[in-house]
Amino acid sequence: PAGVGYNTSKAALCGLMRSVCQDGGVYGVTANAVLPGWVRTEMAERSAAAEAEERGCSVARVWEDRAALYPARRVVEAEEVAQVILFLAGEESSGVSGESIRVSLGCPW
């Protein structure tokens, strides 16, 4: 139940992106969604602290467990997400629209 609001809002944003892609395409508008995995942001750090308290372990342990979800055994860096966004904002991506692009090191969720 704790993830219902977050997961629902993420799905809604993907739906919104597809609608913008369809409605704006005739005007040359492209729309894509970037779906990162775990990234060490302020929000994710707060989440890790809350999870650590709930589990009775260290924040470092929470991040180790999160990293273990990925084949690369690490979480995504903010710069990696930024590079995808920069590509999508550039002319090189003019043919990319309506896509949900996962930046998650191969993690399926």
Nearest to 103 by CA among 38, 40, 39, 35: 35
Cα Rg of the chain, angstroms: 16
How far is 103 from 86, CA to CA, in rounded Å?
Answer: 13
Q: Which of 6, 13, 15, 92 is catalytic?
A: 6
Buried residues in 1-12 as b, exposed as e (16+ CB within 10 A): eeeeeeeeeeee
Is 70 labeled as catalytic in the residue annotation?
no
Q: Which residues are catalytic?
A: 6
